Amino acid sequence: MTNQKFEALSRILLNNWHYISRKTLSFNQGINFFTGHSGSGKSTVIDAMQILLYANTDGRGFFNKAAADDSDRSLIEYLRGMVNIGENNEFAYLRNQNFSTTIVLELKRTDTGECQCVGIVFDVETATNEISRKFFWHKGPLWENGYRTGSRTMTTQEVSAYLQTIYAKEDYFATSHNERFRRQLYDVYLGGLDSEKFPLLFKRAIPFRMNIKLEDFVKEYICMEQDIHIEDMQESVMQYGRMRKKIEDTVIEIGYLNGMREKFSAVCEKEAEIRQNTYFFRRMEILDYQARIQALTDKSRLAREDLDRQESQRTALEEQTEDLTRQGNELLGRISSTGYEDLKNQLDTAKELSNHLNKSVTKWSQTGERLKEWIDEEATSNQTIWDIEEFENNTIDEEKLNRLKKSIAEMRKETEEAQKEAEGILRDIRKKERQTSEELTQLKAGNKAYPKYLERARSLIQQRLLEETGKAVEVHVLADLLDIRDETWRNAVEGYLGNNKLSLVVAPAYAEAAMAAYGELDRTEYFN
């Protein structure tokens, strides 16, 4: 797969290899090109890589194949640095004293960036051209000392001792056996390469030439069999490519579908939670409104009872006042008349009045009892209370009677005003009762009850936003956007917000257009 992680060759270190004394080359993670004039060292670096990738120090037959198919360069020639010095195949060595050579490859994982190194160190006896070697592997990047001590390359013993000193036992490996190191290299360090096919393919790739036919290329570098049908292979490759592309697309589509399914499940869970919470919220609102309605109902009933009681008292007082007024007028008329005839008539009248008064004693007493009820009223003055007491004791005179009459008239007027005020309160209560009933109907229908002017303002702004933007823009009431489950916090927030909870809210992208629409509304009706 294109996103597969792998071991990438990141650097190669060379000490005393051919005419290279000390060099570290860095590689790109992708494709690398070696360019230069003949003899500049391209094949020298590739041959150093081959020794480690084959885990083979024989080298006869594959050295310098990248430059010439008929080359027969040997390992000792690379190690000692053999160079031609004349036209008659005369040569000389660059290294004529005992020395050591180091070749190390650094491999880096493309996903984690972790490094590991595989290398080989040679000890060369120049007098006899004897070579001793040791392959090694260790975790981590190339050593900062360049596998050198002082001005010279570390020997096999020094490298082994350094590995034992620096690394834990499971973090390094060293051996002088080609086959043993090759198995470790292919099976573990390079992730499981075929120990037979990989060296063969790599050896063929080194001297590869592009000026050959496709069929010869396949036979030489891809298939071991010679009896092949290139057309069938091409068709199979094309079918494989199409199938692989289809599989990749299907895998991507499956990933998208799985992601959509997970998001859809999450949305469904959230919607279910929202429905449940909305039910509880509305249920609590309904219970709250029911409690408020019951309180208003009780208050209205008590107000009606009080009003009826005051009506009864007013009627009784009106009757008493009329009777007393009539009696007082008659009495004053009799007292004010003069003359014998008048006195005689007054005597007769007095007798009649005496008879009438005798008959009215009970009624006078009853009137006194009714007047006593005013004594407990807060609106009754002390003077009026004293006049009522004298009326009850039959010691009241004309002045006091007129004063009592005037007081009763004033109290009657106050009673009428209280009655009108009570009627106004009753009308307000009935109006609130109707509004509460409408709100309850709205709540039972699943809608929150808001003032009508608020609903009209929201509708007008939504209409204007639709005309301005061509989109159905949501205009929310701030209270609809709050979900406060704790009753204590809900009361606190409602008290803090006050009427601000009826503010209108739109998405930031439409705020300017909404403010313009709001500015066009009637200030007296909507600007609160």
Mean pLDDT computed over 522-526: 81
Three-class SS state of 93? strand
Bridge partners (DSSP) of residue 173 are 137
Question: Could you tell me the pLDDT band of residue 441, with boundaries at 50, 70 and 90?
Answer: low
- Greater model confidence, 70 or 18: 18
Question: Are 484 and 277 within 8 A, CB to CB?
Answer: no
Question: Are 412 and 402 within 8 A, CB to CB?
Answer: no
Closest among 159, 133, 160, 121 to 13, alpha carbons compared: 121
Rounded Cα gap, residues 214 and 132, in angstroms: 43
Mean pLDDT computed over 75-90: 81
Question: Are 102 and 108 within 8 A, CB to CB?
Answer: no
Mean pLDDT computed over 467-490: 86
pLDDT at residue 377, as a whole number: 67
* Identity of the residue numbered 503: S
Three-class SS state of 107? strand
Question: Could you tell me the pLDDT band of residue 491, with boundaries at 50, 70 and 90?
Answer: confident
3-state secondary structure 276-344: HHHHHHHHHHHHHHHHHHHHHHHHHHHHHHHHHHHHHHHHHHHHHHHHHHHHHHHHHHHHHCCCHHHHH
Question: Could you tell me the pLDDT band of residue 4, with boundaries at 50, 70 and 90?
Answer: low
Closest among 374, 362, 364 to 396, alpha carbons compared: 364
DSSP states of 370-401: HHHHGGGSTT--HHHHHHHHHHHHT---HHHH
pLDDT at residue 228, as a whole number: 67
The 10s digit of each residue's pLDDT in 231-283 is 777 788 788 889 999 999 999 999 999 999 999 999 999 999 999 999 999 99
- Greater model confidence, 360 or 16: 16
What is the overall mean pLDDT for the chain? 82
| CA 446 to each of CA 214, 279, 432, 440: distance values in angstroms, whole numbers, following the listed order | 78, 9, 21, 10
The 10s digit of each residue's pLDDT in 272-328 is 999 999 999 999 999 999 999 999 999 999 999 989 989 988 998 988 898 888 888
CATH of domain 7-195: 3.40.1140.10
pLDDT at residue 121, as a whole number: 97
Three-class SS state of 243? helix
pLDDT at residue 1, as a whole number: 30
Rounded Cα gap, residues 271 and 180, in angstroms: 64
Question: Could you tell me the pLDDT band of residue 13, with boundaries at 50, 70 and 90?
Answer: very high
Question: Could you tell me the pLDDT band of residue 72, with boundaries at 50, 70 and 90?
Answer: low
Mean pLDDT computed over 429-443: 70
Rounded Cα gap, residues 21 and 80, in angstroms: 11
Rounded Cα gap, residues 85 and 67, in angstroms: 20
Dihedral, 57, 142, 189, 46 alpha carbons, nearest 10:
-40
Question: Could you tell me the pLDDT band of residue 212, with boundaries at 50, 70 and 90?
Answer: low
Q: Which residue has the tokens 């909870």?
A: 501
- Greater model confidence, 491 or 447: 491
Rounded Cα gap, residues 490 and 496, in angstroms: 10
Bridge partners (DSSP) of residue 137 are 118, 173
- Greater model confidence, 19 or 374: 19
Mean pLDDT computed over 488-495: 86
Rounded Cα gap, residues 458 and 504, in angstroms: 7
Residue 10 has what DSSP assignment?
E
Burial 159-182 (b: 16+ CB within 10 A, else e): bbebbeeeeeeeebbbeeeeeebb
Question: Are 135 and 163 within 8 A, CB to CB?
Answer: no
pLDDT at residue 2, as a whole number: 43
3-state secondary structure 446-457: CCCCCCHHHHHH
pLDDT at residue 236, as a whole number: 81
| 303 contacts: CB under 8 Å, gap ≥ 6 | 422, 425, 426, 429
Closest among 104, 176, 175 to 140, alpha carbons compared: 104
Q: What token pair was written down for 347? A: 């005597």
Q: Which residue has the tokens 């290139």?
A: 230
User: Where along the chain do its domains lie?
Assistant: 7-195, 301-440, 450-526
Mean pLDDT computed over 455-474: 87
> Does pLDDT of 361 surpass 90?
no
Question: Could you tell me the pLDDT band of residue 191, with boundaries at 50, 70 and 90?
Answer: confident
Bridge partners (DSSP) of residue 25 are 12
Residue 386, number of CB atoms within 10 A of its CB: 15
Rounded Cα gap, residues 381 and 389, in angstroms: 13
Residue 302, number of CB atoms within 10 A of its CB: 10
Three-class SS state of 91? strand
CA angle 284, 287, 293 (to 5 degrees): 140
- Greater model confidence, 399 or 264: 264
Residue 31, number of CB atoms within 10 A of its CB: 6
